[in-house]
Structure 1
Amino acid sequence: MLFETEKLEEIRIQIDLILEKILEYENRYKNQILGVHPNYTESAKNLIHYLALRSFDNAVFQDKLSKIGLPNTSSSESSVLHNLLVYKTIINHLLNNHKTEKTSGFLTKSESKKLIKKHVNALFGKIDRNRNTRILVTQPTLASEDKDFAKNLTALGMDAARINCAHDSEPVWSKIIANTKQANPTCKIFMDLGGPKLRTGKMKPGYKVIHIKPKRNTLGQVIVPAKVWLAPFGMLPPENAEVDAIIPVNKKWLQKTRKGSYVTFLDSRGKKCKITIESKEGYGRWASCSDSAFVTTGTQLTVFLEKKSTSEIHTVHEILPLEEVIFLFEGDTLKLNKAPILGEPTKYDEAGNLIEYPHISCTLPQLFSEVKKGELIYFDDGKIEGIIKEVASDFLLVKITNAKKNGSKLKADKGINLPNSDLGINGLTEKDKEDLKFVAKNADAVNFSFVNSKNDVEDLLNEFKKLNADLSIVLKIETKKAFRNLPSILLKAMENYPIGVMIARGDLAIETGWKNFAVIQEEIIHICEAAHIPDIWATQVLENLAKKGIPTRAEITDAAMSQRVSCAMLNKGIYIEKAVKMLDKILCKMQSIQNKKMAVLPKLEFSKEL
C-alpha cells in the first residue's frame, strides 16, 4: 500500500472532528446566518465553517495532508466544507472504502469564485481592464478644480475614487464627485468618515518669519537657487507646484514687474539679499534667490522694475506665524494636557536648566480616565514611541523611548495611538453623522473608520435607516479590538449589501505591534476570503512614487503583493498619475503568474545552457 493505513485513519478522524465542529457551529450561530442579506447566506455559512476549522490547531493536520499529496487547507477558505468532503472521499478510497461523501448542500470551489466575483462587482462595479484587482485613488483638493484630473487617472487605471471627509468641505466634495462622474459615469465614489481619531492639539504660534533656503553642496556653494512665490496675501501657487518660500506683497507694484526685475532687502539679521523675477503666473510672480534669508512682516523692499536707476520702496505684507514644533529625543519627557492648552517646546533658563517640559494637548480628553501607567503610546503614525510614566487627572507624563537620533518633530494634528488601552470610543462621532447625510445622497460607499465591534456596525445601520440610505459599507480595520471582533463585525455588516473590508495598515500596525502586524494582515485576508468579502490593501501603497516621483524597491514588492486582494488603494501625491500607471502595470504583470494566493505557472523562458 502506498500510504500507511494508520496515517490515513488519523487524517480521517481529524476530518470527522472538524465536520462535527462545523455542524456544532452552524447550530450555535444559526441566528447570525439567518440575519444576513440573502446574497450573503452561503457566504455567512462558509465563514462559520472556516471559524470551526480554525478552532483547531491545524498545523499537524496540514502536514499530514501534504505528505499524501493533498493541497493545504490554507488555500481552501472560500469553500471549506466542500474541500473537507473531497479530502474525506479521497481518504475513504485510499482505505479501500469506496464511499463518496455527500455531493450537495455546500459551495464548490467554482461556485465560491462566482460569489466572490459577484460581491466584488457589486462593491466596485464591473471592470473593463486586463486585471482583477481594482485601484482606488484618494482625491486631493485639486480634483475639484481640474476637470481633467479624474479623466487622466481613469485613463491610466483608476477604478474608484476615495474622498476623505476629514479634509475639505461639502462644496469641494461635490465638485470632486461631479468631475469624476463626468470623466467616468460608472466610477464608484467611496467616502471616509473621519471617526474618533485621537490627535495632538494645536501648537502655540511661532515667529512670523519666512526662511529662504537655496540648495547647497557639501562645500556650502549654491547649486539650486530657492524658488520663491511673490503674490498678494492669500494667493497661493498652483497646488502641484514646487515652492521653497511664499512672500505676500502688494499687487499693484508686483504687476509692474517683468522677467529680470529684482528686489533687494536687508533680512532680519541685517544681511543684504536679492530676489530676481523669473516669470509671471496670474497675479503672482515666480522668482529665484541664491541667498539664505530670513524675511519678516514689514521687511523693507527696494524694487528695481526695469533699470537700476528706477526703483520703488515697498514692504512685505503680513506673514503668517510659523507652526511651532516640539523636538523630542529618546529619554525626554513630554506632558500631554487634558485641557486644550496650546502646545510649546521645552523651556530652559539662561543657564540651560529645564524650566518646563514640552507640552501639547489631545483631541479626546476622555482618554485620561482610561489609560494606565506603563502603557505604550505612539505619536505621528508610530514615528515617536513612548511609555506613560505618570497619570494625573489633567495631564499625562510620557517618557520618550524611541525617536530619531537628531530628534523627532511633533506637530499639531498628528495621530496618537494607545495600543494597550481600551478607550471605549464609539465608531461614530457627531461629525460623522452630519457627514453621513451628504455621503448618503452623493456617494456609492461609506468607509467606516475605527469600527471596533458589531455594536458600532449596528449604530451605522441605524443611521442608514434614519436617512433611508442605500450605501455600500467598507469596514476599516485599524485596531486590535476590531481584528479580534472581525467575524462578528462581518456578520452584522452582512445584513447590508454589499460590504467590503479595508486593511488600514497604518494604524493597525501600530495598534497590533510591528512584530504581529504581518501575521494579522494575512489573517484578515484569510477571513475575508472565507466570507467572500472584497478586501482593500491600504496605506503607503507606492507612497514614495506618489509623493517624490521615484519608487523604492520595497514598495514595488508591496504593490505586487496587493494583487492577492480585491483592491489596492493609493493616497494623494503630486506624482499620483505615475503611481496609478505603475500600479496598473504591476497588477497586470503579477496576474500572469499568480491568481490571488495560488501560483500560476506560464511557460518559463530560460537559458537551455544549464
Structure 2
Amino acid sequence: MEPVMFRVDDQPPSNHASIQPSTTALLQSLHELRQLMRQGNCVQIPETLKPHPSYRQSAENLLAYLCLRRRDIRSLQNQLAELGLSSLAGCEAYCLSAVENVTAALQSLTGEALSDDTPAAPGLASGRAHLRLHTEALLGPTGDDRAVRIMVTLPEQAANDAAMVRDFLAQGMNCARINCAHGNADSWSRMIDHVRSGADELGRNCKVMMDLAGPKLRTGDIAHDTAVLKIKPERDRCGRVTRPARVWLTAQATEVRSDMPAVQSPWIEVPAKWLANLRSGDTLKLRDARGAKRVLNVVEHTPGGCWAELEKTVYLTSGLKLKVKRETKREAGKKQAQTKITAVPKSESFIELRVGESLVLQRNGIGHQAQHDDKGEISAPACVVCDVPELYRDARVGQPIWFDDGKIGGRIEAVNYEKLEIGIEHIVHASGRAKLRCAKGINLPETDLQLAALTDEDLRALEFAVAHADVVELSFANTVEDVQALAGHLRRLGRDDLGVVLKIETRKGFENLPAMLLAGMQFEGFGVMIARGDLAVESGFERLAEVQEEILCLCEAAHVPVIWATQVLETLAKKGAPSRAEITDAAMGVRAECVMLNKGPHVLDAIRTLDDLLRRMQGHHVKNRGMMRCLSVAKEPSGLVAAHPT
C-alpha cells in the first residue's frame, strides 16, 4: 500500500470529489490500524494478569497502544496533519478513541458512510480521570494548585531535626523518601514521626516512601595507605598568608563526637598527659613527613583539647615528634617536653587508574593499589572487591563494565568464578586518570545478571515499611517475576494495599517494562520511577533522552503515575546555584506526576525553585501535549494592533 504524500506547495482541495482519491489509502490505513488495536494481541499478556478494578480499562488502553506503536506511523501522521486533522500525537492516554475519532472525521470529510456499530472507546477525559485517580491512590492529593508532586530524599539529619522536615513540608514537599540503604529502623522511625507531626501541624498531606536498596553492585573496602594529614593556610594571589591554618590537638580522637570541633576541622591525636600540660602561647616544633621544619603555635587551651595555628603547609603522620618550646625565664634551660603524634585522620582510600591499565575485580579479600617493581613498572594490577557471586557466574569476556556512574569504563578480558580481569578503556577526566573508591556502583549493561530484586536486607526493611510507610520502592525491578515476588511478600505480611513503585534503572528493566506495567496493575497504588542515574549508564548516556521518553509514553498509556528522578537540580541542592541545563531538565519534569530531589545542604532552595518551575510549566505542558497559554512577551509588535484592530 503506497502512502499518499502531500507537498507544502500543493493546492488545498476545494471539494469532496478532489479529496476522495487522495484519502482512500489513508482511510484504509486507519481502518487496518484500528482493527489491529481492537484485537490487542500484539504482545504476550502475562497469564497471571489480574488487574485491580481501577486498572482494567488502563490495561486495555496499554495493549492497544502497544499495537499502535508496533508500526511506524510517521508518514500517516504527516498526512493527517496536512488535512488539518489530529496527527495522533499525544494520544497515549486514549489511543484507540483517538484513532476512531480521526477515522470518523476523515470519513465525514470524504462522505464515506459511518456504518460501524462497535462501542466507542473511552476518550481523553476518561484517560485523564484514570491517571488522576491512580496518582492520588499512590501519591495522595497535592493540596495546592501545583499538579506535579515534589518528593524529597530525607538526609540522615532529618532523624534528629524536626524543624528541617517541617521546613521541607512548608516549602512544598508532598512525598518524603527514605533510602533504606542508609540508617536503621530507629532513625527511620524518627524521620517518619517528624514527617507525620509536621504534616499535621501544617495541614498538609505527605506520603512516606521507603526505597529498598535492592541488589546494587558496589565496590568493597580498599586497603588504607599510611594516613597523611595535609594542612595549609589561606593565601592571597601573591602567596601572602591571609589566614593561618588551624589544627585541633586532642587525646580522644577515637571518640570523636558531633559536638567536638574536630568534626569540622583537621585534628591530630596526642597523649593525654602531655596535652594537659600545654598552655596558650606554647610553640610546638617538628619535622613533618617530608623532613621540613615546621612550627605550631598554641592559641587556645580548653579541657577537651587545644587549638594550634601555623603559617606554612605541613604534612603530618602518626609517629612524628612534637617538641614544646616556652620563651619564659622560668622555663629557660629546662629540657623541653616532647611526644609523638599517635594518630591522624584516615583519608578515604582509593585506587588510581589510567586508560590502558588492568584492574582485577574479585569476589573476596580487600581492594588495593597496583604493585610496582624497582623500575616503577606495574608488577601486579590494582584490585577491587565485589562479593556478589552471580556477577562472576554471568559475566562474559568482551562485555563492557562501568564503575562510579560511568566515570570509569572497561571491558572484561578474562572470567572465572572468583575474579574478572578488566582492561580500562574509558576515563571521564581529561587527565586520563581517575580515583575509584569503595561503595561505588558497578554496571554491566550487556550482562544478563540473574539477580533477585529483593535481598535479605530488603526483606527486613520491608517488614518495617509495611508497619510504618505508605509506599515501597522496588529498586532494580527487571522482570515480572520481581513484581510478583514483591506482591507475594506483601500478601504474606498482610499489606497488599501498600503502594508500590517500580524503579526502572537497567536495560533489562526497560525492555520488560510493558509486561511489568501489566503485572503492577494488581496494586491499587502503583507507579514507576525513572531512575536516570543507573539507567544512563546501562542504556548509554546518548540514549537516555530517548529511553525516558518511551517510559513516559508507556506509563501514560497505562495511566500509571511517573516519578522523574536523579540529579534534578543537583548543583543547586549541593552548591547553592543551579546550572542552566538542570533548570531546563527540572522544568521538563512537569510531564511526570512527581519529581524527586536528592539531599544536599541547599535542598530547601531546590524545593522552592522546583515548586516555582512546576507551577510555571504546567501551563505549557500536560503530559505529552504542548499547551498554548498566552505568551509572556515583554512587548507586542507595534504593527499587531493596526493589523488586527479590535
Q: TM-score, normalised by structure 1?
A: 0.91
Which residue in 2 is equivalent to 1:198? 217
Query: Where do 5+ consecutive residues of structure 2 fail to align?
Result: 1-12, 640-646
Give matches, 1:97-108, under 5 Å: 97=112, 99=114, 105-108=120-123
8 Å Cα contact 2:591-2:623 kept in structure 1? yes
Which residue in 2 is equivalent to 1:441? 467
Which residue in 1 is equivalent to 2:315? 294
CA deviation after TM superposition for structure 1 residue 579, in Å: 1.2
Give matches, 1:119-138, under 5 Å: 119-138=134-153
Between 1:509-518 and 1:417-426, the stretch displaced more is: 509-518
Residues 30/140 of structure 1: CA separation in 2 closer, same or farther (3 Å cut): closer
CA deviation after TM superposition for structure 1 residue 117, in Å: 1.3
C-alpha separation in 1, matches of 2:150 and 2:172? 7
Which residue in 2 is equivalent to 1:571? 598
Which residue in 2 is equivalent to 1:478? 505
Of the candidates 453, 462, 472, which is equivalent to residue 427 of structure 1? Answer: 453
Deviations 1:527-570 (A, max 9, x none): 01101111011111111111111211111111111111111111
8 Å Cα contact 2:531-2:566 kept in structure 1? yes
**Amino acid of the residue matched to residue 215 of structure 2?**
P
Which residue in 2 is equivalent to 1:394? 418
Residues 460/153 of structure 1: CA separation in 2 closer, same or farther (3 Å cut): same
8 Å Cα contact 2:42-2:66 kept in structure 1? no
CA deviation after TM superposition for structure 1 residue 278, in Å: 8.2
Which residue in 2 is equivalent to 1:94? 109
Deviations 1:226-277 (A, max 9, x none): 565666423355799994634456789989999x877745233343143666
Which residue in 1 is equivalent to 2:206? 187
Specify the structure having the higher radius of gyration (Cα): 2
Q: How many residues align?
A: 607
Which residue in 2 is equivalent to 1:177? 192
The DSSP-based 3-state class of the residue aligned with 2:571 is: helix
Which residue in 2 is equivalent to 1:405? 430
Which residue in 2 is equivalent to 1:272? 294
Of the candidates 341, 351, 355, which is equivalent to residue 330 of structure 1? Answer: 355
Which residue in 2 is equivalent to 1:380? 404
Deviations 1:442-494 (A, max 9, x none): 11111100111001101001100111123100100011111111011011111
C-alpha separation in 2, matches of 1:61 and 1:238? 69
Pairing 1:208–2:227 present: yes
CA deviation after TM superposition for structure 1 residue 221, in Å: 4.7
The DSSP-based 3-state class of the residue aligned with 1:326 is: strand
8 Å Cα contact 1:206-1:323 kept in structure 2? no
Q: Percent identity?
A: 36
Residues 27/335 of structure 1: CA separation in 2 closer, same or farther (3 Å cut): closer
8 Å Cα contact 1:263-1:274 kept in structure 2? yes
Residues 577/394 of structure 1: CA separation in 2 closer, same or farther (3 Å cut): same
8 Å Cα contact 2:256-2:262 kept in structure 1? no
C-alpha separation in 2, matches of 1:337 and 1:428? 23
Which residue in 1 is equivalent to 2:94? 79
8 Å Cα contact 1:34-1:41 kept in structure 2? no
C-alpha separation in 1, matches of 2:299 and 2:64? 70
8 Å Cα contact 1:229-1:243 kept in structure 2? no
CA deviation after TM superposition for structure 1 residue 606, in Å: 3.7
RMSD: 3.2
C-alpha separation in 2, matches of 1:596 and 1:52? 21
8 Å Cα contact 1:88-1:101 kept in structure 2? no
CA deviation after TM superposition for structure 1 residue 146, in Å: 1.0
Residues 524/288 of structure 1: CA separation in 2 closer, same or farther (3 Å cut): farther
Residues 244/29 of structure 1: CA separation in 2 closer, same or farther (3 Å cut): same
The DSSP-based 3-state class of the residue aligned with 1:166 is: coil
C-alpha separation in 2, matches of 1:596 and 1:306? 76
The DSSP-based 3-state class of the residue aligned with 2:384 is: strand
The DSSP-based 3-state class of the residue aligned with 2:40 is: helix
8 Å Cα contact 1:213-1:244 kept in structure 2? no
Give matches, 1:123-162, under 5 Å: 123-162=138-177
C-alpha separation in 2, matches of 1:286 and 1:69? 78
**Amino acid of the residue matched to residue 597 of structure 1?**
N
Query: Where do 5+ consecutive residues of structure 1 fail to align?
Result: none
Which residue in 1 is equivalent to 2:630? 603
**Amino acid of the residue matched to residue 40 of structure 1?**
Y
Q: TM-score, normalised by structure 2?
A: 0.86
8 Å Cα contact 1:547-1:576 kept in structure 2? yes
**Amino acid of the residue matched to residue 399 of structure 1?**
G
